[in-house]
Amino acid sequence: MTEVLQFAEPASVQDLSRYIGRARRIQEQGIRVQGHGYVLAAWVPVMTPSSLVGRLPAVLGLRTMALSEESYADVTAEFSAFSERIARLGPADTALSLPVARLNAPWAAVTPPRAGWQHIGTIEDDELRTIADNGVEAVTTAVPDRAGAAVVEQVRESVWSAPLTASSLQAHPRSSEAEASDSRGRQEGGTSESLEVPSGAAFGAQALGFLRPAGSQGQTEIHAQGRWVRLTSAGGHILCRRTLG
């Protein structure tokens, strides 16, 4: 396994640093990096259910960076393990050693499919931003002072598991491959009509800085594979399981 990542340019190292900084403002469950040839995939959890029966959707963030040398690695570690190494690099350095200490995180064991994705629609970035901001306000308003963990979890589940709706959401015609994907989703316990995109996906895209600036007419593409949905924005991807109605 690769022990040192060779980035294509210094800017990619700083890009990873900024990505880690945004993710740490959301949670402290670590980061998973996977080297696949000349591409580095950096995964972070945006939100995860507290139990197997929890309604809070599992939402993951993904950003990719270019490498100058082939890499084969799969490492999950604390944010600090990466940020401290990056801090010791010079402005022109492109080699980043992987942390020795590894993190055993349940969320990192969930890997979305790599193939079979079907384009199902688009949504304006400004609408995603509005949905995310409204959700944050709803959670803040609904949680009473000194609320216990159970109450906070219930509020978050109610807000972020709600189906994402927007006036700019444009659905694309279904292909035969997409219908086959839906058939696989039905075998997992749902129907194509009951599967929804959780609002937590909008929160992830906003919090990780994936959306284009407000008013720039940016758009996010939506893809689906079975019960999985992927939001692809200018700055990265949000992946989550669509909730069952």
Query: Can you give the pLDDT of all 245 residues of the chain as single tens digits?
Result: 899 999 999 999 999 999 999 999 999 999 999 999 999 999 999 998 876 666 888 999 999 999 999 999 999 999 999 999 999 999 999 999 999 989 999 999 888 998 999 998 899 999 999 999 999 999 988 887 777 777 888 888 899 999 887 666 676 655 445 455 444 444 443 333 335 789 999 999 999 999 999 999 999 999 999 889 999 999 999 999 865 54
Place of tokens 């594979």: 225
Give this prediction's pTM: 0.86
Cβ atoms within 10 A of the Cβ of 168, count? 14
Residue type at position 233: S
SS3 94: coil
- Residue whose token pair is 């944010």: 79
Render pLDDT for 160-207 as a digit per residue (tens, 0 to 9). 999 887 666 676 655 445 455 444 444 443 333 335 789 999 999 999
pLDDT at site 111 = 85
Q: Give the Cα separation of 122 and 135 in Å (integer).
A: 20
Quick one: DSSP state of residue 218?
-
CB–CB of 243/200 below 8 Å? no
Cα-Cα end-to-end distance for the chain: 42
Instruction: Give burial (CB, 10 Å; 0-12/13-18/19+) of 54.
Output: middle
| Per-residue pLDDT at 244 | 52
Amino acid at 80: S
